[in-house]
Amino acid sequence: MYDDIVELAKRRGFFWPSFSIYGGFAGFYDYGPLGVLLKDNIIRTWKESYMEDGAIFLDSPNITPEPVFRASGHLARFSDLAAECEKCKSKFKFESVLAFNKQDIIPANLEEAKEMASDTYLKCPVCGSRITNIYDFNLMYKVSGDYYLRPETAQGIFVNFKLLFNYNRGKLPMIVGQAGKGFRNEISPRQSLIRLREFNQCEIEVFLDPENLEFKSLYDYKKIKMKPNTGEELDITVKEAFERGLISSQAFAYFVLKTQNILENIGIESSKLRFRQHDPDERAHYASDSWDAEGLIDNEWFEIVGIANRTDFDLNNHQSSSGETMTTKIEEREFIPYVIEPSYGIDRILLTLMAQSLETRDGKNVLKIPYPVAPYHFAVFPLMKKENLKEKAEYIYENMKKQDKYIVYDEAGTIGKRYARQDEIGTPYCITVDYQTLEDNTVTVRSRDTAEQKRIKIEELLDLDFINSYIYKK
Ligand code: GAP
């Protein structure tokens, strides 16, 4: 499925490797015309969903001065264990050398990794020579002087905490979001959008009173897949997971459920979505607990959202380093707020959505992306390029566009080919103007998901509320 999606994405204009006329450079991808629409719709779903919980948003620079990352710990600790083959000069994440050599034990630090490489013959995955050169590799890009490209959007929010808190009239909980680019000098970029060097993040920082780590009440009914680091995968409600002590706070449980709901609304299948808790030695330097939302593609689980309990780690460090107070006072109590952070990787979500949505019908691709995030909602066609049919189809297209911009007009090729093209790019409905239209003002509406066709009156078509209830929800 993964290979099929990457091929479809390039051919149909969703995404493709960047700079290909110069041979391509690993870890960079462009979004084409349909990918831009799909990505924006995913981001809109994320944003509107957090607005329901009162989120406010920020847009801060990509280029960030060194003191920010000295304070946040990224300068000293945002690194991967890397390995270089001295013979063929290939570079790898140490983790992938271990996987290639079928080693299950992951060393906790550089010393342990070096010890392991001296005790065990670790083969280079490319040339088979012994790997001995292991080192720490900082993932941040230094741009010039004392500036770095941000590896996460979160620090922009932390350094602005005081201004945002004042804007929020000194109230907690406060939810702040930022959608933007993250940059990481990944040692081995891979699998198109999975591990990029420049990627799209939508991050949420929830600031809470550490003595009241609660948010809205938890629904009781919905079971989700959770894999705690202490045992097997469970089908469990977040309420139960919290009550059993698997999740550290009520607020954390709320944002796990929120993430499940957002991903489902985007179109990730609940049976192909789970939350996996990090082992203690797997956590980022700032986290006291982390759960990854993972999506399933071709029997492999990929992290698509990381949810971390960042405690007061970042605000505390920025307070000590900058001298600016991050301490707040609520009802005579002074404290530095705690942070829960659901961090969404939009590229991985988009890829997972496309891979999970692709089906074949009669040997042809059908991309069953949900209506709200599909690049186009409707395609309008004249049955043939005859003047009277074209005129009517253009009239319908222009009128519908006044109410819904996500509409495409197509008159090229046979009607069967046009249906197939729209099925493959995920357009839920095709509207065809034919000779009967000229007689009785009705058109054919064809559903992508069932290939069923219905005739309806043009006036009804232009009433989008009607078409949504009549066709979409059936
Ligand atoms: N602020 C926390 C943070 O950045 P993360 O788990 O490193 O946490 C969050 O990243 C999400 O960003 C991940 O779940 C993933 O979807 C996405 N992401 C991280 N690195 C990526 C990369 N190199 N390429 C594509 N997406 C990436």
Ligand 1 neighbour 276 (Cβ under 6 A): no
What are 190's strand-pairing partners?
A: 195
Residue with the nearest Cα to atom 19 of ligand 1? 345
> What Å distances lie between residue 200 and 29, 190, 298, 348, CA to CA?
11, 16, 23, 9
- pTM score, two decimals? 0.95
DSSP structure string for 83-130 = EE-TTT--EEEHHHHHHHTT--PPPSSHHHHHHHHHHS-PBPTTT-PB
Closest ligand 1 atom number to CA of residue 293: 14
Q: Copy the structure tokens of residue 446.
A: 């064809």
Q: 């409905």: which residue's tokens?
A: 429
Residue with the nearest Cα to atom 5 of ligand 1? 306
Packing angle of the helix pair 346-357, 2-12 (nearest 10 deg):
100
What are 455's strand-pairing partners?
A: 444
Ligand 1 neighbour 294 (Cβ under 6 A): no
> What Å distances lie between residue 298 and 12, 198, 374, CA to CA?
21, 24, 22
Enter the DSSP assignment of 190.
B
Ligand 1 neighbour 154 (Cβ under 6 A): yes
> What Å distances lie between residue 136 and 27, 92, 108, 205, 401, CA to CA?
20, 12, 12, 28, 54
Q: How far apart are CA 297 and CA 301, in angstroms?
A: 7
Residue of 247, 351, 268 whose CA lies nearest to 45: 268
Ligand 1 neighbour 305 (Cβ under 6 A): yes
Residue of 312, 307, 273, 311 whose CA lies nearest to 290: 307
Q: 């029997």: which residue's tokens?
A: 299
Q: 């109230």: which residue's tokens?
A: 171
* H/E run at residue 409: strand 407-409
Residue with the nearest Cα to atom 16 of ligand 1? 345
pLDDT tens by residue, the chain, 474 residues: 899 999 999 999 999 999 999 998 999 999 999 999 999 999 999 999 999 999 999 999 999 999 999 999 999 999 989 999 999 999 999 988 999 999 988 888 899 999 999 999 999 999 999 999 999 999 999 998 999 999 999 999 999 999 999 999 999 999 999 999 999 999 988 889 999 999 999 999 999 999 999 998 887 789 999 999 999 999 999 999 999 999 999 999 999 999 999 999 999 999 999 999 999 989 999 999 999 999 999 999 999 999 999 999 999 999 999 999 999 998 899 999 999 999 999 999 999 999 999 999 999 999 999 999 999 999 999 999 888 999 999 999 999 998 889 999 999 999 999 999 999 999 999 999 999 999 999 999 999 999 999 999 998 877 766 666 655 543
Ligand 1 neighbour 195 (Cβ under 6 A): yes
Residue with the nearest Cα to atom 14 of ligand 1? 305
Q: What spacing in Å lies between the alpha carbon of 41 and ligand 1's midpoint?
A: 19
